[in-house]
Amino acid sequence: MIAHAIVFYIFSLIAIISAIMVTVSKNTVNSVFFLILDFISISCLFIMIGAEFLGMIMLIVYVGAVAVLFLFVVMMLNVAQQKNEWFNSSGRSSHIPVGLLVSIIIFFELIIVIGGWKYKPDLLDSIAIEINTDLTNTQSLGSVIYTDYVHLFQLSGMVLLVAMIGAIVLTFRQRSGVKRQSYFKQISRDRKDGIELVDVENNKGVKIDA
């Protein structure tokens, strides 16, 4: 039990320190790396409380895909310029008040949620789903999402689809003058329309119309 507690405190310490470093670190790429470290230690915490499916999904989705895209975008930016704008000209920057507002709101929300969990003793009884402790949590999550609440799941899928199509439409631009490769065109080419035999007169050359 002591070993469990020690490991728990190690992971939560890493999680908190790296979360602070995300905001404090001056290099944007370093911030993203600390964010990844944060995700990893939080998924370790998930695994420690027995939510192994959630922990793995956290690793796959956030660390394996989302953070890669973050890193991808951040590495492309001109980091030096951005650093100046964010930290050195604090007089003009309007990011800090907005950030403060958001963090205060989140703080109060957390207080309400944790207060409810701590001081309302019958909170666990008021949940809508029976918790079946015989099943592994992969199975029980599966039955809740795909059987009990399948319509809500489909609905959220539709919302995501709309968001995806919106993003594609917003960023799509038709470019002209791009030569695309068409396999069908290439394969269906034969000798007749590929080669033309021309008799060339001396000192005249050939006129090719492309």
Partner 1 sequence: MAELFIFFEQIYRILFLLIPVLVSVAMIVWLDRRVWAFVQKRRGPNVVGPFGLFQTLADALKYIFKEIIIPASSNKVIFILAPIVTMTLALIAWAVIPFSETFVLADINVGILYLFAVSSLGVYGIIMGGWASNSKYPFLGAIRSAAQMVSYEVSIGVIIINVLLCVGSLNLSDIVLAQKDLWFVIPLFPMFIIFFISALAETNRPPFDLPEAEAELVAGYQTEYSGMMYAMFWLGEYANILLMCAMGSILFLGGWLSPIDLFPFNVIPAPIWLILKILFLFILFALIKAIVPRYRYDQLMKLGWKIFLPFSLIYVVLTASFLMYFDLLPGN
Which residues lie near partner 1 (CB under 8 A)?
Answer: 3, 29, 33, 36, 52-53, 56-57, 59-60, 63-65, 68-69, 71-72, 75, 136, 138, 181
Paired tokens of 80: 């030096």
Closer Cβ to partner 1, 119 or 172, answer by number? 172
Closest contact distance (angstroms) between CB of 72 and partner 1 is 6
Closest contact distance (angstroms) between CB of 188 and partner 1 is 18
Closer Cβ to partner 1, 100 or 135, answer by number? 135
Dist CA 118 CA 124 (whole Å): 11
Closer Cβ to partner 1, 171 or 181, answer by number? 181
- Nearest by Cα to 62 from 42, 84, 79: 42
Closest contact distance (angstroms) between CB of 9 and partner 1 is 18
Closest contact distance (angstroms) between CB of 75 and partner 1 is 5
- Chain Cα centroid distance, residue 179: 32
Residue type, 2: I
Asked if 32 and 71 count as a contact pair (C-beta separation under 8 A), the reply is yes
Q: Is residue 38 exposed (0-12), middle (13-18) or buried (19+ Cβ within 10 Å)?
A: buried
Closer Cβ to partner 1, 12 or 30, answer by number? 30
- Chain Cα centroid distance, residue 17: 22
Closer Cβ to partner 1, 19 or 51, answer by number? 51
Q: Is residue 86 exposed (0-12), middle (13-18) or buried (19+ Cβ within 10 Å)?
A: middle
Closer Cβ to partner 1, 82 or 103, answer by number? 82
Dist CA 123 CA 69 (whole Å): 38
Closest contact distance (angstroms) between CB of 149 and partner 1 is 19
- DSSP symbols for 134-150: TS-HHHHHHHIIIIITH
Closest contact distance (angstroms) between CB of 209 and partner 1 is 29
Cα-based distances in Å from 124 to 111, 116, 140? 18, 10, 17
